[in-house]
Structure 1
Amino acid sequence: MPRLESPRQQLKPVQRPRLYEQVAGQITEWIASNGIRSGDRLPPERELATQLGVSRATISQALVALEVVGAVVVRHGDGAIVTDVAGTPRIVEAIRAHANRLPEIIDARDALESKIAALAAQRRTDEHLARIDAALDAMEADVLAGGRGVEGDELFHAAVTAAAASDLLSKMMQEISELVLETRIESLGQPGRPRESLADHRRIADAIRAADPAAAARAMHDHVMRVSDVAILHDDE
């Protein structure tokens, strides 16, 4: 009988680290080697950019990536605060894992939230609309003050989900809530994105208020696609 040869394992393409990943790695190494503790503040972006020889945009993207994986929290007016010193050796791997799962999170958000927006347009009550408007006001106030509007963004999507009046869809959104938070932080860290997101939210709210399911679904789909365009998915970053 002819001898069957075992299939050879294929070589895998070399994964070139993105610049912001390298910068995030450098920052975490600096944290680990300088006795930085949770609650300590990192140097300002301008100083980090000068020391590392990169643009402030790259520093900003690296800090967003670090915030997504829980290593720092970026507060308006306070800068980046270290939150997880123990996890620093695994930070770059966590950032890459986030980038790898991001397309699936986007697909799930689009499928669920577009349907939720359509149902919200059919089932919303005056109370639901008031909650949606309150979320918009909260996000606008934060954005106008120079913040990113993360909390207001979260409140808005929660209000739309409540207006859909579907326990099952609500539970499904809850299941992916931590993953969605990753994309929310990632997206609202992009330059100009908070104002764009706020404008998208107003279009979604207008369609829900007009009881137009097709327009609400379309506005939500457009919003998810827009906020999903993040630097972490671009190979040239």
Structure 2
Amino acid sequence: MEDFPQRVSRARLYEQVAAQITEWIARQGLRPGDRLPPERELATRLGVSRATLSQALVALEVVGVVTVRHGDGTIVTEEAARRAGAQSISDAIRAHRDRIPEVIEARDALETKLAALAAERRTDDDLASIDEALAFMAADVEAGGRGVEGDERFHAAVTAAGHSPLLAAMMRTISELIAETRLESLSQPGRPGQSLDGHRQIADAIRDGDPAAAAAAMHAHMSLVSDVALLHERP
């Protein structure tokens, strides 16, 4: 039987919006450091909901076209010009979406073990670093931020507390992929506060020297991180 061509994939709405925004950036001649219009204005111009627009902006941030700064708006990056083609944007966003489950699996395996090791091996200095990361993230979240840097600091502190050079090296090899999933997760409504609570449970178990509880808390946290809108929206 003659083979038929593969079915043409339909771009999801937020992908279409992301491509339109990237093309608009190019047409307007926006340069790195320039700001996009406020989200409410952009959503009105594009005729989409704020939720869809926010998802498109997160996708663009993940692939490096923009960066979102708390209190400063959405800023164009140097990557925007290179990503000007709509197909390039769609391909990059889909590649990110497709690898999310695998990245989460790797994180769960590595970080769950590291949390257990941290409960066994942590020093007073390790606990201090974990507490500093929690305080940093809490201050950011309370100020209305997403807690991205604090989240990164916390997981780095737990990794260091595990005192396993090989596992730490493995974490470094996927650090860029983790950064993508971190942005995606912490941009979900209500997620920064939920993530902070999960971090506190992990920290408490590590402080108590309870490897099983630390591993369980980290696994639960990874389950939360894996619940992202990109994986739920239908084409």
Give TM-score, length-normalised by structure 1.
0.94
Identity across aligned pairs (percent)?
Answer: 69
Q: Pick one of 159, 172, 175 that aligns with 1:174.
A: 172
Stretches of structure 2 lacking an aligned partner (at least 5 in a row): none
Change (3 A) 1:221 1:13: farther
Q: 1:4 corresponds to which residue?
A: none
Compute the RMSD of aligned alpha carbons: 1.4
Letter in 2 for 1:26: Q
Distance 1:173 1:85 in 2: 28
Letter in 2 for 1:80: T
Letter in 2 for 1:111: A
Q: 1:17 corresponds to which residue?
A: 11
The Cα shift of 1:33 comes to 1.1
The Cα shift of 1:11 comes to 4.9
Give TM-score, length-normalised by structure 2.
0.95
Q: 1:71 corresponds to which residue?
A: 65
Q: 1:106 corresponds to which residue?
A: 104
The Cα shift of 1:37 comes to 1.1
1:36 aligned counterpart, secondary structure: coil
Tell which deviates more after alignment, 226-235 or 155-164: 226-235
Distance 1:41 1:62 in 2: 16
The Cα shift of 1:92 comes to 1.9
Residue 165 of structure 1 pairs with residue 163 of structure 2: yes
- The answer on whether the counterparts of 2:66 and 2:80 sit within 8 Å (CA) in structure 1 is no
Q: 2:45 corresponds to which residue?
A: 51
The Cα shift of 1:12 comes to 3.5
- The answer on whether the counterparts of 1:71 and 1:91 sit within 8 Å (CA) in structure 2 is no
Letter in 2 for 1:76: H
- The answer on whether the counterparts of 1:204 and 1:216 sit within 8 Å (CA) in structure 2 is yes
The Cα shift of 1:188 comes to 0.6
1:81 aligned counterpart, secondary structure: strand
- The answer on whether the counterparts of 2:64 and 2:80 sit within 8 Å (CA) in structure 1 is no
1:86 aligned counterpart, secondary structure: helix
Change (3 A) 1:120 1:27: same
2:181 aligned counterpart, secondary structure: helix
2:75 aligned counterpart, secondary structure: strand
The Cα shift of 1:219 comes to 0.5
Q: 2:123 corresponds to which residue?
A: 125
Stretches of structure 1 lacking an aligned partner (at least 5 in a row): 1-6
Distance 1:212 1:61 in 2: 38
- What is the number of residues matched between the two proteins? 231
